[in-house]
Amino acid sequence: MKFLLNALLVATASAFAPQQQSISTTALAGEKVPLDCGLPLVGSEPLFFGKNYWDKLTSEWGSADTGTFLRAAEIKHGRSAMIATVGFAFQKLGITFDKITPHEYLSVTENVKFADLAAMSPVDAVHMIPVAGWSQIFMAIGAIEIYELTHAGEGIAKEESVAPGLQAGGLTGDLGWNPLDIKVTDRRRHVEIQNGRAAMFAICAWVAADAIPGSVPLPLPW
């Protein structure tokens, strides 16, 4: 358990650390923006199935800034999916907070105990979260997004006519949070993106298998 928690902390710190931008912030009309993080299925050259659409989005229909925004969106969705897969697996394995912390209740006012949730499927357990709990989740997400929208560099952008996150190249997913001082290399960034892609497929399959029995033909480990 300690290993899993430490691994999650390292992954989270690495995810929010300043990233090395591999996409330029300006592009001429018709210029192709490089697509990184391809999957080398055969040979050493990376292969990405959506390359043609990527080129259209970042050259014909947009610019390099479009590519920066799309990459940031993919990183954020991948991070969310990775956290979701860990939470889903913990729920399936019966590792609830009452077993690893002194807290017995998810909500005292609503009389929702972690032990009660452990007997449910992850999908049913999510339905048991009170409205106040969902509000806290969305407030935490909103605080992170607002921080990224209003901060430029190391401080609040007070004299900007447009929020930094809404400007070209904004909303990159870089919050400058790196308490473990992890060096974010291109390889680590690629690993994060590829693990995020795998996690997005995994959480979709797990939720589908729980919500509609038999919808996923592959055997799952529970």
- Encode pLDDT of 47-77 as tens digits: 665 666 677 777 777 777 777 788 888 888 9
Helix (H) or strand (E) holding 10: helix 2-16
Mean pLDDT taken over the chain: 76
Residue 140 has pLDDT above 90, yes or no: yes
Asked whether residue 113 is domain-assigned, the answer is yes
Q: Identify the bridge partners of residue 152 per DSSP, sorted by sequence position.
A: 155
Condensed to tens digits (0 to 9), the pLDDT of residues 81-128 reads 999 999 999 888 888 888 888 889 988 888 989 888 888 888 898 888
Look at 200 and 22; give whichever has higher pLDDT.
Answer: 200
pLDDT the model gives residue 46:
60
Domain enclosing residue 111, as ranges:
2-175+183-211
pLDDT the model gives residue 162:
82
Asked whether residue 90 is domain-assigned, the answer is yes
| Dihedral of the alpha carbons of 18, 19, 20, 25, in degrees to the nearest 10 | -100
Q: What global pTM score does this model have?
A: 0.70
Asked whether residue 66 is domain-assigned, the answer is yes
Asked whether residue 221 is domain-assigned, the answer is no
pLDDT the model gives residue 137:
92
Can you tell me the distance from the alpha carbon of 133 to that of 210, in angstroms, rounded to the nearest whole number? 22
Query: How many domains in the chain?
Result: 1
Would you give the DSSP letter of residue 102?
Answer: S
Percent of the chain's residues with pLDDT above 70: 73
Q: Is 96 in contact with 90 (CB distance < 8 Å)?
A: yes
Residues in the chain: 222
Asked whether residue 92 is domain-assigned, the answer is yes
Condensed to tens digits (0 to 9), the pLDDT of residues 155-209 reads 788 878 888 888 776 777 777 778 888 888 888 888 888 899 999 999 999 999 8
Burial 27-58 (b: 16+ CB within 10 A, else e): beeeeebebebeeeeeeeeeeeeeeeebbebb
pLDDT the model gives residue 67:
78
Asked whether residue 220 is domain-assigned, the answer is no
Residue 36 has pLDDT above 70, yes or no: no
pLDDT the model gives residue 135:
95
The residues near 21 (Cβ < 8 Å, ≥ 6 apart) are: 68, 172
pLDDT the model gives residue 156:
84
Asked whether residue 105 is domain-assigned, the answer is yes
pLDDT the model gives residue 176:
75
Asked whether residue 71 is domain-assigned, the answer is yes
pLDDT the model gives residue 167:
77
